[in-house]
Amino acid sequence: MKRKVFATLDEAVADIPDGARIMFGGFGGAGFPNNLIQALARKGTRNITAISNNCGTRDGELGLMFKNNQIKHAIAAFPGPHANYFLERYAAKEVTLELVPQGILCERMRAAAAGLQGFYTTVGVGTEVAAGKEERVIEGQRCILEMPIHADFALIKAQKADELGNLTYRLAARNFNPIMAMAAKTTIAEVEEIVPVGAIDPEHVITPAIFVHRIVKAKGLRYA
């Protein structure tokens, strides 16, 4: 069996190089891989393209990455009112932003996961989001072409992993995590609990092990 369980957070992120494209799970304070983000801060990877719903909550979540100036480009749906460090860097033109409607952000990641090369949607037609995108009329509806969002790594948070990498999530902490797990080349999951292979009911697995490459146990960390 491939050894997926890592002893430490730092080992789990040790090879993430400068310039990496990284997805970060989480929404509304729930399901953020905050322990892995701290490890990535210690590692000091720079020039990251970050794909995440938002851009940090004060010092927490991606806030730490922007505070340390580790991110050069963000792809996000809701940078957020408390993304202080991002907003400073953005105002100073030290970081660029692609703003994407949230469901389309999900679908673009899923397209990457599913080996699809692009899709048409009515979402964003006639808005700033459509700028520079191909537009066409399909079945009488104006649509724009949206492209897959790929990533080198996904840092996600799950509740439970078996040693093989099957994951379950708790309540609404699921959010973006299963999508990102499928979309990235290498998925690293911090989890509250690691159980033996076979301990999760196969019908209750939310993220099958095929999508999970590294697991590390860490007590969930939440920012207000």
| Sites of contact with a copy of itself (CB under 8 A) | 107, 111, 114-122, 138-139, 141, 143, 147, 168-171, 202-204
Q: Is the dihedral of CA 155, 190, 158, 4 positive or negative?
A: positive
Specify the residue, 100 or 143, whose C-beta has the smaller distance to a copy of itself. Answer: 143
Contact yes or no for 148/185 (Cβ under 8 A)? no
Question: How many angstroms from the chain centroid is the CA of residue 32?
Answer: 9
Question: How many angstroms from the chain centroid is the CA of residue 125?
Answer: 25
- The two tokens of residue 220 are 């969930």
Binding pattern to other proteins, positions 126-155, x when CB under 8 A? xxxx------------x-------------
One DSSP character per residue, 204-221 reads T-SB-GGG--EEEE----
From the list 142, 41, 42, the residue with the least C-alpha distance to 50 is 41
Binding pattern to other proteins, positions 23-42, x when CB under 8 A? ----xxxxx-----------
DSSP code, position 157: E
What is the closest distance, in whole angstroms, from the C-beta atom of residue 155 to other proteins in the complex? 16
Which one of 24, 66, 153, 211 is in contact with other proteins (CB under 8 A)?
211
Distance between CA atoms of 40 and 117, rounded to whole angstroms? 30
Binders of other proteins among 67-126, rule CB under 8 A? 77-81, 87, 90-91, 97, 99-104, 106-107, 109-110, 112-116, 121-126
Q: Which residues bind other proteins (CB under 8 A)?
A: 1-2, 27-31, 53, 77-81, 87, 90-91, 97, 99-104, 106-107, 109-110, 112-116, 121-129, 142, 162, 164, 166, 169-179, 182, 197-198, 202-203, 205-206, 208-211, 222
